[in-house]
């Protein structure tokens, strides 16, 4: 007996008799954390990165930024210790080990501050554009995706015979390993990210109030 995909609005046949989703939505769930979650590309995040960078320029002597750099480096050191224990023969969760290898790869190719600003920008996006994220898992998956996307090692190439050219492809990562990385990132950057998000929200509301007050004053001119 055929089964219909459980994704809203989809009437395709499920990927298998045991699956709840069709192949397309099953792939989206694995890749993005939710069947209706759209991928967050670099250009989507750019305005929020600019907000974070402006906040850093506004507070150049604030110790927060160095603390966050060190939090990332501490996370990387933790990852290196997981790898070292595995190489000495100590058993451990496979997906934690995969997350550790990935964190080290990122650290080897990306400056700490780039990781920090991207992480903070994701929390600002969550505050200012909450509808972009369909669930908590959707946010975590996109968070990890954007941090991984900083490294050139996250992409590969494939030849498109129809277009007759080489295309870049994103190297997928196991969902359980994504969950581990998401928890690490949230622990390292969550408190600072939420504080910056609140500041950006307050600034945006103040700008809206100023604009409304200006418009009201214009209307009252005689």
pLDDT tens readout for residues 31-86 = 999 999 999 999 999 999 999 999 999 999 999 999 999 999 999 999 999 999 99
The verdict on 139 and 121 lying in the same domain is yes
Mean pLDDT computed over every residue of the chain: 92
The verdict on 97 and 26 lying in the same domain is no
Q: Is the pLDDT of residue 213 over 70?
A: yes
Long-range contacts of 56-61 (CB under 8 A, 24+ apart): 56/117
Half-sphere exposure in the Cβ direction for 8 (13 Å, CA): 5
Per cent of the chain over pLDDT 70 is: 95
User: What local confidence, expressed as pLDDT, does residue 222 receive?
Assistant: 85
pLDDT interval class at 1 (50, 70, 90):
low
User: What local confidence, expressed as pLDDT, does residue 157 receive?
Assistant: 64
DSSP 16-44: STT-SS-HHHHHHHHHHSSTTPPP--HHH
Angle between helices 42-58 and 175-219 (to 10 degrees): 70
Distance separating alpha carbons of residues 165 and 72, to the nearest angstrom: 38
Q: Tokens for 153, please give them.
A: 């090692």
User: Is 13 inside a domain boundary?
Assistant: yes
Smallest Cα–Cα separation from 34: which of 132, 122, 137?
137
User: Is 220 inside a domain boundary?
Assistant: no
Sign of CA dihedral 109, 136, 133, 141: positive
Q: Is 33 left (phi over 0), alpha (psi -120 to 50) or beta?
A: left
How confident is the model over 90-96, as a mean pLDDT?
93
Print the domain residue range for 49. 39-202
Model confidence over 189-202: pLDDT tens digits? 999 999 999 999 99
Half-sphere exposure in the Cβ direction for 85 (13 Å, CA): 14
The verdict on 11 and 65 lying in the same domain is no
How confident is the model over 114-123, as a mean pLDDT?
98
Q: What is the number of H-type helices and E-type strands within the chain?
A: 7, 2
The verdict on 43 and 6 lying in the same domain is no
The verdict on 43 and 120 lying in the same domain is yes
3-state secondary structure of 156: strand
User: What local confidence, expressed as pLDDT, does residue 72 receive?
Assistant: 98
The secondary structure element, H or E, covering residue 195 is helix 175-219
The verdict on 28 and 134 lying in the same domain is no
Model confidence over 146-176: pLDDT tens digits? 999 999 887 766 667 777 777 766 678 899 9
The verdict on 7 and 88 lying in the same domain is no
Distance separating alpha carbons of residues 46 and 41, to the nearest angstrom: 9
The verdict on 92 and 146 lying in the same domain is yes
The verdict on 23 and 87 lying in the same domain is no
The verdict on 61 and 2 lying in the same domain is no
Q: Is the pLDDT of residue 215 over 90?
A: yes
Q: Is the pLDDT of residue 17 over 90?
A: no
| Total domains present in the chain | 2
More confident residue, 35 or 117: 117
How confident is the model over 80-100, as a mean pLDDT?
95
User: Is 136 inside a domain boundary?
Assistant: yes
DSSP 60-97: TT-THHHHHHHHHHHHHHHHHHHHHHHHTT----HHHH
């Amino acid at each position: 007996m055929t089964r219909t995909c459980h994704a809203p609005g989809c009437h395709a046949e499920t990927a298998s008799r045991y699956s709840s989703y069709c192949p397309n939505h099953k792939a989206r769930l694995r890749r993005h954390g939710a069947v209706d979650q759209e991928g967050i590309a670099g250009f989507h995040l750019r305005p929020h990165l600019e907000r974070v960078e402006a906040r850093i320029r506004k507070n150049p002597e604030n110790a927060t930024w160095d603390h966050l750099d060190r939090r990332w480096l501490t996370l990387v050191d933790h990852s290196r210790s997981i790898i070292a224990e595995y190489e000495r023969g100590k058993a451990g969760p496979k997906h934690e080990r995969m997350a550790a290898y990935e964190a080290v790869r990122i650290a080897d190719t990306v400056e700490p501050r780039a990781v920090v600003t991207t992480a903070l920008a994701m929390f600002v996006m969550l505050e200012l554009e909450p509808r972009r994220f369909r669930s908590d898992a959707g946010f975590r998956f996109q968070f990890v995706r954007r941090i991984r996307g900083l490294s050139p090692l996250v992409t590969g190439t494939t030849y498109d015979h129809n277009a007759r050219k080489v295309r870049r492809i994103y190297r997928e990562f196991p969902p359980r390993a994504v969950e581990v990385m998401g928890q690490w990132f949230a622990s390292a950057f969550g408190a600072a990210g939420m504080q910056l998000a609140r500041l950006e929200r307050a600034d945006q509301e103040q700008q809206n109030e100023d604009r409304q007050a200006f418009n009201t004053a214009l209307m009252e001119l005689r």
